[in-house]
Amino acid sequence: MIFAWLRYFRSYRLFSSKPGTPIPKGIPGSRLATVLNNLGWTPDQPVFKFISERKISAHVTELYIHGENSSLQHEYAILRVDIHNEPSWLRIDWTGDVTRTTSFGSSEGKGALIWTISVDKDSLILPRDRQIRFTKVSVSLEAVAGMVIELSKTPYHLIFWNCIQFSQELGQQIVDAESTRAWQETIVQRSMEVAAGSMSITS
């Protein structure tokens, strides 16, 4: 019981508000922002829904999870997006406004996605923020947009669905999608080799 209350107190202290420091604005002029703007996107529109609907041809090639070095310990994801052979950078923050307390003594409320597009990765990270995860991937931006949309449908929860759970789950889904893609490519390649007679079939 004591441990549970300590965990709740720590979670409340960490996740009861917005990120502990202002989110960097990034540097304008990225290829991704240019493509979005040319297609009619405006900053007041949900960017992930727009990407999904327009089926923008781009790939996420690097995944980063960073954490603030602050009392709130906010976490966020940064994606390298390659479009037209140029890298752009997309930061994703999951925040929430607690609106009610559940019967278990924890709080939940409406979640909000904050996205920041930049021409430079370092402009999206504060100097004191720490890198938690880095993975090279190759997943379509449209697929990642779909993941973000689905994850954001779950109401924000102070303990069970806060910025940490969101960023970690998004990162894992992207990695899983990369593993599935690599496996599928291997199967296709082997099938082509068998068809060409360069590889024997073994049981």
Here the tokens at position 67 are: 């954490």
d(CA 151, CA 168): 11
**Per-residue pLDDT reduced to its tens digit, 53-66:** 998 889 999 999 99
Give the gyration radius of the chain's Cα atoms: 20
Cα 101 → chain centroid: 27
Dist. CA 65–CA 135, nearest whole Å: 9
Q: Where are the domains of the chain?
A: 2-196
* Residue of higher predicted confidence among 99 and 96: 96
Contact 98, 109 (CB under 8 A): yes
Query: Using one digit for the tens of pLDDT, what is the confidence trace for 104-115?
Result: 444 555 788 999
Helix (H) or strand (E) holding 75: strand 75-83
136-190 tens-digit pLDDT: 999 999 999 999 999 999 988 888 889 999 999 999 999 999 988 776 666 555 6
